Amino acid sequence: MSDMDSDRRQFIGRSSALVAGLTLAPGMMLYDLAHGRPVGEPASSKVRWGMLIDTTKCESGCDECVKACNKENGLPGGTGPTDEQWIRKVQLTDLKTGKKTSLPMMCQHCAEPPCVDVCPTGASFKRVDGIVLVDRHLCIGCRYCMMACPYKARSFVHEPLHDQKPDVPRGKGTVESCTLCVQRVDRGETTACAEACEKAGHKAILFGDLNDPDSEISKRIRQVASIRLRDDLGLDTGLHYEGL
Amino acid sequence: MDTLVRKQKELRNFYLLVVFGLMVAMTGMGAAHYMEEHGHIVTGMNNQVVWGMPHVFAIFMIVAASGVLNIASIGSVFGKKPYKARGPLSGLLSIALLAGGLTVLMLDLGRPERVIVAATHINTTSVFGWNVFLYSGLFSLVAVYLWTMLEARMNPWTKPVGLLVFAWRITLTTGTGLIFAFLVARQAYGTAMLPPMFIVMSFSWGLAVLYIVQAAMYGWNRMSLNPHVLRRFRNLLGLFILSVAYLVAVYHMTNLYFARNSAFEHFILIEGGIYPLLFWGGYFFLGTLIPLVLIYSPNLGKHCHVLLASLLVVVGSFCFLYVFIIGGQAFPLSIFPGYEVSSTFGDGQIAYYSPSLPEILLGCGGLGVAFLITTVGVRIFEMLPHDEAAAE
Ligand code: SF4
């Protein structure tokens, strides 16, 4: 794809997201915009960011969310065993009924994250607004968090990096994972994957504040049946899945 | 004159050993440097198998470092003479193995230059964090322990310090077991069985290492082991091998019992290719069965048999750790029970791992460090166990 093309796509994407945001999901978007916080102001513990993924709307051949994540975060997008994948598409077949499901899988942003518990240096940490991150200056690259994560959400940077994005710093020899597009969220925007999914017309990913009873996501979680992956572990994840 | 020639020859051989140890250690450092330059892409490790060969070497050395102190403990805490005579050697080996193991663990980090961060930013909820504290504590404690054993006027302190070291190292091996026991989401780990299993393994592996080193020292000095002492060591090693086998059996049986883990057991014990092969052929046959035969057969059980048994215990321990650490990660996590799963990130698939030369060399480098410390330590201090008076 040419640069022109991608610029144009980005422009269309942004404007359509804005229009969609104002018209289709006003509760969610307006709320988020109102939460864009000035530089220097700490994240608020009043919010808990999360996602509701509607697997019935997720299309099996589609990987727009993955592409958008790679683009937003400057990931090369390889799918080899040593490549970083912050978000991946998982295909499921029910062993009893044969029913097929497709869903995006990423860091589940647990309220009780095992990666944070096991990290020897405190590099793995949870922000007060529920986003689980790695401080790449503190990470020593021991990979214990990768061993501890029940969702295999983390990747290790196996090779020297080039062309990093200024607002998504990364580091060779450290561990990384989905940041819930923290740079966008702090600007009051939604995540790249949710935006791309919406743009592709699926609207399978709903991002928002789980603590606000009036947010779109909270309302929907109250209305529909959703589950959290490996809920038996009691990690209180920020990601909910519908239709599983 | 004769003794002078012999002394000179001995010195030359000593230097040869030192050079050998240095070369192995330096090769390991070179490999680590190469890994750091290019990133872990030059190892066999990947995003599914995140701990590989270096961890097999490192965990062997760290576990054995704790167990090798058993001999010193029995000597100083329970006052048994043949063990007392080996107290200093057991302390030295512990320091050497710990240094070797930690070197490998540290150099395998994605950011080895940040090791100081690990020492200054300790997360108190992390077992890894506790272990940083436990390992450095053991170093200092064993150094003091050695001092109380080697310096006559400090001897009265041997017993209390020995007790402290005993408690410390049991905690340390528990900590090593907990590194895995806390991984609740993985079928291979996440069980309270692991700390006791690691403790008993440490006894067995530590004793095997001590026996091998002792045999080398006796061979060097053209001495032979007192038969009484041989019998004690043989019986102790046999007992430890049996205890490990028992705990390993219980570990797998309980896993088999839990329906959610039976697929994993099936993989590790039967279908998983290299893993069942190493488990049955390496750990069970070479590392357990043959040593038991060598120890308990009426016509065997001589020094050379016990030495061979010790060597096989070490071989078996590496096989066990390979299966435990790497096989445990190769089996996919169960995130969606009841579904067949696939993705670009290895979900639902057995992960592939093949160790690369640099990571094996790094592991050997750690053994080189341990070898070097032992060789030099044995030369500087009076470490050779004398049993003439101690036999009974
Ligand atoms: S790899 Fe980094 S973030 Fe993960 S546990 Fe180790 S130090 Fe913490």
State the DSSP string of A25-77: -HHHHHHHHHT---TTPPPPTT--EEEEEETTT--TT--HHHHHHHHHHT---
Nearest to B128 among A85, A120, A146 (CB): A120
Window 162-221 of B, Cβ < 8 Å to A: 179, 182-186
Mean pLDDT of B257-276: 88
Q: Report which secondary-structure segment, H or E, holds B57.
A: helix B53-67
| Residue B391 resides in a domain | no
> Model confidence over B309-355: pLDDT tens digits?
999 999 999 999 999 999 999 999 999 999 999 999 999 999 999 99
| A123/A215 same-domain check | yes
Q: How many domains is chain B partitioned into structurally?
A: 1
Q: Is the pLDDT of residue B218 over 50?
A: yes
| A13/A93 same-domain check | no
CB-based contact B344 A96, cutoff 8 Å: no
Q: Which are the contacts of B17, defined by CB distance < 8 A and separation ≥ 6?
A: B375
d(CA A137, ligand 1 centre) in Å? 11
Mean pLDDT of A106-114: 96
> Model confidence over A115-142: pLDDT tens digits?
999 999 999 999 999 999 999 999 999 9
Residue type, B300: L
Q: Quote the tokens at residue B205.
A: 């592996």
Q: Which domain holds residue B92?
A: 16-383
| Residue B108 resides in a domain | yes
pLDDT > 90 fraction of chain A, expressed in percent and rounded: 78
Cβ of A135 below 6 Å from ligand 1: no
Distance CA B242, CA B251 (A): 14
| A17/A62 same-domain check | no
pLDDT > 70 fraction of chain A, expressed in percent and rounded: 84
- Of A39-43, A44-48, A147-151, the poorest mean pLDDT is in A39-43
Distance CA B68, CA B59 (A): 14
pLDDT of residue A180: 97
| Residue A173 resides in a domain | yes
Which atom number of ligand 1 is nearest to the Cα of residue B128?
Answer: 5
pLDDT > 90 fraction of chain B, expressed in percent and rounded: 69
| Residue B11 resides in a domain | no
Q: Report which secondary-structure segment, H or E, holds B195.
A: helix B194-220
Mean pLDDT of B8-37: 95
| A17/A123 same-domain check | no
| Residue B86 resides in a domain | yes
The residue among A31 and A5 whose pLDDT is bigger is A5
CB-based contact B111 A140, cutoff 8 Å: yes
Nearest to B339 among A93, A118, A120 (CB): A93
Whichever domain contains B91, its CATH number is 1.20.1630.10
Mean pLDDT of B41-46: 96
| A8/A113 same-domain check | no
Q: Is the pLDDT of residue B79 over 90?
A: no
pLDDT of residue A37: 65
CB-based contact B344 A89, cutoff 8 Å: yes
Q: Is the pLDDT of residue A226 over 60?
A: yes
pLDDT > 70 fraction of chain B, expressed in percent and rounded: 98
> What is the band of A34 on the pLDDT scale with cuts at 50, 70, 90?
very low
CB-based contact A149 B185, cutoff 8 Å: yes
- Of B42-51, B242-251, B379-388, the poorest mean pLDDT is in B379-388
| Residue B193 resides in a domain | yes
Q: Which domain holds residue A161?
A: 49-242
Residue type, B120: T
Kindly report the pTM of this predicted structure: 0.90
The residue among A158 and A30 whose pLDDT is bigger is A158
Q: Which residues of A touch B109 (CB under 8 A)?
A: 140-142, 173
Distance CA B115, CA B103 (A): 11
Nearest to A147 among B36, B51, B111 (CB): B51
| Residue A222 resides in a domain | yes
Which atom number of ligand 1 is nearest to the Cα of residue A115?
Answer: 5
Q: Is the pLDDT of residue A36 over 70?
A: no
A143, A144, A178, best to mutate for ligand 1 pocket (most atoms within 8 Å of CB): A144
Q: How many domains is chain A partitioned into structurally?
A: 2
The residue among A75 and B254 whose pLDDT is bigger is A75
Whichever domain contains A175, its CATH number is 3.30.70.20
> Model confidence over B196-214: pLDDT tens digits?
999 999 999 999 999 999 9
pLDDT of residue A39: 61
Q: Quote the tokens at residue A243.
A: 């239709």
Side-chain-side CA neighbours of residue B257 (13 Å): 6
Q: Is the pLDDT of residue A8 over 70?
A: no
| Residue B163 resides in a domain | yes
Q: Nearest residue CA, atom 6 of ligand 1?
A: A142
d(CA A229, ligand 1 centre) in Å? 23
| A82/A170 same-domain check | yes
Residue type, A86: W
DSSP assignment string, B294-359: HHHSTT--SHHHHHHHHHHHHHHHHHHHIIIIIIHHHSPP-SSTTEEEEETT-TTSPPP----HHH
CB A138 within 8 A of CB B119: no
pLDDT of residue B184: 85
Q: Is the pLDDT of residue B220 over 80?
A: yes
**How much is the mean pLDDT over chain B?**
92
| Residue B390 resides in a domain | no
| A159/A233 same-domain check | yes
Cβ of A132 below 6 Å from ligand 1: no
Residue B48, burial from CB neighbour count under 10 angstroms (0-12, 13-18, 19+): buried
Among B201, B154, B160, B217, which Cα is nearest to B10's?
A: B217
Mean pLDDT of B70-91: 87
Residue type, B335: I
| Residue A40 resides in a domain | no
| Residue B388 resides in a domain | no
Nearest to A121 among B46, B123, B343 (CB): B123
Mean pLDDT of A62-66: 96
Predicted complex ipTM: 0.91
